[in-house]
Structure 1
Amino acid sequence: MHPREFGNFRILQLLPKGGMGTVYLAENLLDNKRVALKLIELGPDLDRQEIAAAERRGANLQKQICGIDKRITNIRDFGELDGFFFIEMEYVEGQDLSELLRAGPLGVRFAARIGLDLSEVLAITHNFHAVIDGQSYRGIVHGDIKPRNIRITPDGELRVLDFGIAKALSLTRSFTQIQFGSSQYSSPERLRSGEITVDSDLWAVGVVLWEVVTAKPFFQAENGPRLEHLIRTYRAVPPIPEQFPKAFAAILRKALHADPAQRYRAASEFGADLRAFLEGRKTVAETMPAAAVPIAFDNDATRRTAVPVAEVDDATRRTQQPPRPTPIEKVLPKNRTYSVSRNARQVIGFSLLAIVLSFSWFVLHEINVWRKGDELARQLETERIKDLNVAFVRYQELQNETHIPLVLHGPRRAMTEKLLASADRIILEFREAEAPTITEQDWIAAEAALSKALQLSPSDKEIRGKIYLCQAHIARIKGRSRLSGKLLNESRTKFEQAHNFMTKSPDPFIGLATLYAYSLNDVDRARDAVEQATRRGHKRGRREKALLADAHQRRAERLMREAVRAEGYPEEKDFLERASTDLEKAQDLYRDIVPFGGATASLRRAIESTDLVAIRLRAIREGA
């Protein structure tokens, strides 16, 4: 079914399938807003009735939850119409996390921020209480956390889609419980018991984090039954790539531990560890010893058909009782001395041959990896590969193949240089351009490139400093647009952290000057930041003069407003005199840069304000 119209909706296009229904991009003809419209066909059979009832309960729950946290998609309306149960949802612009992952891994810090957002949302919903149709709900479990249900908006915010449906289904028959979840993200306990719990959501968050940093599924199999078998028989966390920070690896290890008792027991615990990692503090997960369960691999399965070796050995021992040993002197005649020596030489010969062959294979394998790496380096240097995400995935694949890191020295250097150059273009434009046009998305892209570069060079302090610089600009832009003091203070802290790693760079101070002038309204600190940048080699130009002129004018206008409120009191004169001083400084700076930017109009406004202040001061003095 792909109707052109449905009730008061005009169907525009089909969207990715959602749960047990079909989802369309539609226009609500009553208010001309674009919405996501989910349709579930009704029917007389028990299954369809249960599905519709579950969707109704889920929509009702989600409608209440979305009012608590904006990261949960808003439900506008739901009901029955023309043989369908419909849910009208807010349409969220952006890309699903699954779409972003097609380009390759998204970086550890990006993953941690995704995980933190999910944990915060789940911490709220897992403790949510509501009464619907006389039935009490204590704790709402999502039940289908996966990249397709996580949307990243154009401004970098996370939104959780399709919330509450799985928990509603837990009240119906057991076979429907798994239908709404994706086996790929189901915990072993969920597949064994069919029950959806808080632990199900936390496990799924761990699997999502794994995919974000590797761009590969946590479990892989050739078909659904085999996949479910792998998950049910899961025994141990697979080896985590060495390039990941130890703290983040510890979080993954704890979140995906085979023993549920060793995992995070609440979303708040999971979120607290992710926040600690992002802030550079020690995590609880780091205090947990790494799992030491050995893994044996089934040739018919993928790399995660894990069975403890101890079990395999024990099973082998039980297959056949070994024969009772016969005393050696009874089976070894005296004239067999030469034969024993010959057999020993044969064993030694075969062993040496095996060693030589193994070593030869190892050398040939490493040479092959080196050749692939050398080709990747040449493609990067000649720009035959321009998509750095694709190149980074290829590098990671080579890294997983080699046992000698030095083999990939060339491509690692080329990859790092390209990633740094990608980020440096944005940093340099903001530093050098008199009227930079860098957006929040540019800074997000730069941070992603730098996060990949840091994985290649974990000890590089300059890269770490540039990451803080990008994060500071992202917080500055968001803080100003949302009028968020918390984000603006976070921006200042990030700029200071960037300076700690980039002590000779002017970039943190250029950012601080912009922050103080236009967001924190601190002229003196803005001027000091400009001076600090100048000492570090930054040439003070028209942009810096305009920045300081704007800061003086903005402070003067605030002082003039204070003077109006203090009219008739002694403080009025003080406010006006201070405003007059700021306006004179602003005029001097504007005159130096006219006609740069909007300096002409700003100068005219400063002169007009100066005249108004002078008139009022004259009146005060004459009245005195």
Structure 2
Amino acid sequence: MPTIGHIGRYALKYKIGAGGLGTVYAAHDPLLSRLIAIKTLNLEIAPEEREAFNALFLNEARAAGGLSHPHIVTVFDAGVSDSSAYIAMELLKGRDLRQLRQEGWRPTPAQAATIVRRVADALAYAHSKGVIHRDIKPANIFMVGRTQPRVLDFGIARITHQHDGAGDIAAGSPYYMAPEQVRQQPVDRRADVFSLGVVLYELLTGVRPFARKGLNAVFDAVVNAEPAPPSTHRAELDPELDRILMRMLQKSAANRYPDWAELALDLAGIDRKAVVFCGRP
């Protein structure tokens, strides 16, 4: 396979995808003789800011690299070069949730519940290690098969927003941000609870709860608008799922689930009823 470039010790083989923050390549690791994925960050860094950015980037990469969980992508290495910062991680086969939704895939309630339960387990583990994601969204949930998620990009939101001058406050993607992120207030694990609630709502109903025209309108909806219960979009959903989602999407962080254990208990209760979580794997 031809090489299209190099970064660090890695030989870039082909581009997998690109987004606003970076580009992902398949690359060959000559030390371990295997294909991996390399994500480069596309950020314009002033020379006088480079040293501080590199330190922040490597610190966040070390935190992400210290996470070992079956539903979190494995980070192998990270580094900085003259052209960009990069993260080396396991090469996965599949699609992220955003791509699957764009291709027309609509999960069953059981599939949506399984995905969210496993992402919640991954986030609970990360939070126990002191790592908050800050940017949970479909594009950061990679699917290996239809019910095997891998959470991507731990620390990336904090890196980019610190670089943008917002500090360790605002981070995330508009449709999935918690109200405290929109207000540029400090965040904790409950911001991830809110964002995962938005993802679950979208998976169950096919619509975003705070979709509006224009960024300011989206921000206003996140802070002020109460979304319709998901059962109004999909009548067969268990009403108890409405209650769970509405609690995940509370405007005040204090009114959301305080930890993942209580959320898991409520999800398990629906599971036992076998209404929407039938056939739990």
2:241 to 245, 248, 257: 248
TM-score (norm 1): 0.40
**Equivalent in the alignment of 2:148:** 157
Counterparts of 1:22 and 1:177, CA distance in 2: 24
* Offset of residue 142 of structure 1: 0.4
**Equivalent in the alignment of 1:478:** none
Q: Secondary structure at the match of 1:257?
A: coil
Greater percentage in helix: 1
Counterparts of 1:46 and 1:244, CA distance in 2: 54
* Offset of residue 263 of structure 1: 1.6
**Cα deviation digits, residues 103-140 of structure 1 (max 9, x gap):** 14312111111121122111111121xxxxxxxxxx21
Residues 1:261 and 2:254 are matched in the alignment: yes
Residues 1:278 and 2:268 are matched in the alignment: no
Counterparts of 2:23 and 2:50, CA distance in 1: 14
The AA in structure 2 aligned to 1:5 is H
The AA in structure 1 aligned to 2:79 is G
**Cα deviation digits, residues 151-188 of structure 1 (max 9, x gap):** 11137422111113345678778525577521111011
Q: Is the 8 A contact 1:4 1:10 kept in 2?
A: yes
Q: Is the 8 A contact 1:141 1:197 kept in 2?
A: yes
Q: Secondary structure at the match of 2:36?
A: strand
Q: Is the 8 A contact 2:161 2:168 kept in 1?
A: yes
1:198 to 185, 189, 192: 189
* Offset of residue 193 of structure 1: 2.7
| Structure 2 unmatched runs, 5+ | none
Q: Secondary structure at the match of 1:221?
A: coil
Q: Is the 8 A contact 1:206 1:252 kept in 2?
A: yes
Distance 1:16 1:51, change over 3 A: farther
Q: Secondary structure at the match of 2:183?
A: helix
**Equivalent in the alignment of 2:10:** 9
1:232 to 219, 223, 226: 223
Distance 1:221 1:46, change over 3 A: farther
Give the length in aligned residue pairs.
274
* Offset of residue 43 of structure 1: 4.0
| Structure 1 unmatched runs, 5+ | 129-138, 282-453, 456-463, 476-624
Q: Is the 8 A contact 1:104 1:214 kept in 2?
A: no
**Equivalent in the alignment of 1:182:** 173
**Cα deviation digits, residues 475-524 of structure 1 (max 9, x gap):** 5xxxxxxxxxxxxxxxxxxxxxxxxxxxxxxxxxxxxxxxxxxxxxxxxx
**Equivalent in the alignment of 2:23:** 22
Q: Secondary structure at the match of 1:144?
A: coil
Counterparts of 1:172 and 1:43, CA distance in 2: 8
Distance 1:228 1:278, change over 3 A: same
Counterparts of 2:272 and 2:54, CA distance in 1: 44
Counterparts of 2:164 and 2:242, CA distance in 1: 38
The AA in structure 1 aligned to 2:100 is L
Q: How does 1:458-477 map to 2 (within 5 A)?
A: 468=279
Of structures 1 and 2, the larger Rg is shown by 1
**Equivalent in the alignment of 2:212:** 221
Distance 1:277 1:19, change over 3 A: farther
The AA in structure 2 aligned to 1:243 is E
Counterparts of 2:269 and 2:57, CA distance in 1: 37
Q: How does 1:162-177 map to 2 (within 5 A)?
A: 162-166=153-157, 175=166, 177=168
Identity %: 26
